[in-house]
Amino acid sequence: MGMQGDFLQLLKEQGYTLGTAASLGNSHTPTNATTILAFKYRDGVLVAGDRRATAGNMVMYDRTDKVLEIDRHSVMAIAGVPATAYEMVRVLEHSFKYYRRTQLQELSFDGKLRAISKLLKDNVPAALAGTGAVVPVFAGYDLEQGSAKIYFYDILGAEFEGVEYAVSGSGSPTIRGILHYLNTWGDQPLNRLPEEQAMVQALRLLTSAAEFDSATGGVNREASLYPVIKLITGAGVQTVPDATLKPLYESQVVRYV
């Protein structure tokens, strides 16, 4: 199996399974993570996510990281059940590294997309049973073609290319409309926004999602709680520090009416 550099196959040979179709008991509400977005800007692609994880109407955690780095040039943002999503990210991270180290070349961008589809397909029983539905957005920089790319998936593993932007999670209907409006009738299309403007838009979008969706956490300045924003360019993935987001939020997002 080493010949093919397929890490998931290696795990399976050792008895590993990703999703099990355990049906959901009546008393249990699974934890969910919500509202992620990705759009292309001038230098690459921006991926952002709020930080709230909920179980039913209870807030489980307010510092969740839903935008996860898989390698130097790709990021997976997750909406859905975090337990499954984190596991998938772990599998992917190891798969890409294993491929690179055994085959002595990087897995192609298309190869990476396929790997995610395969994982989601394996996870279908759990997704349908309600214990492990994950709806990811995958964004990365394709070094061979020199361009940023965004893909989103449904829970069955179908892959769709988000040409300019993609959203997922319970807060996404709100911001999908805004993204469409901004991209079509805004001052300039999203893919021409400079880095700082792109970050401001991401903060405004997540704040809007939190306004209309209780499962989305907004910005909490008292607790210095800001969304996770990552920028992917040809140089790699870069996490925007809170210290950068704070002044942007205060000067360009908050309105004292």
Partner 1 sequence: MYEEPYRWVEAVGNRRQYLDEQFKQGSPVVALTYEGGILLTTVSKGTAKLYEIYDRLALGGMGHPTDLEKLRFSLLEMAHVEGFNRSPSDVTGSRLVKYGIAPVIKQAFEEVYKAPFIVRILVAELGVKPEKDALLTINYDGTFEESIGCAVLAATPAAQTKMTAYLKEQTPATLSLEQALDLALRAWAIGSLAHQQEETDQQAESEPSAGKVSAVSAPVPSAEVLMAHVRGIAGGRTLDCAVLERQVPGTSKYRSLKPSDLAPLLPKSLQSVVAN
Q: State the catalytic residues.
A: 34
Give the nearer residue to partner 1 in terms of CB position, either 119 or 206: 119
Short-list 204, 132, 168, CA closest to 36:
168
Q: Shortest distance, CB of residue 86 to partner 1, whole angstroms?
A: 13
Q: Shortest distance, CB of residue 97 to partner 1, whole angstroms?
A: 7
Interface residue list for partner 1 (CB under 8 A): 2, 7, 10-11, 14, 72, 90-91, 94, 97-98, 100-102, 104
Q: Shortest distance, CB of residue 135 to partner 1, whole angstroms?
A: 24
Cα separation, 148 vs 89, whole angstroms: 20
Short-list 148, 163, 135, CA closest to 76:
135
Give the nearer residue to partner 1 in terms of CB position, either 89 or 135: 89
Give the nearer residue to partner 1 in terms of CB position, either 11 or 60: 11
Six token digits for residue 88: 């998938």
Give the nearer residue to partner 1 in terms of CB position, either 206 or 231: 231
Q: Shortest distance, CB of residue 177 to partner 1, whole angstroms?
A: 37
Give the nearer residue to partner 1 in terms of CB position, either 93 or 242: 93
Q: Shortest distance, CB of residue 237 to partner 1, whole angstroms?
A: 9
Cα separation, 230 vs 48, whole angstroms: 6
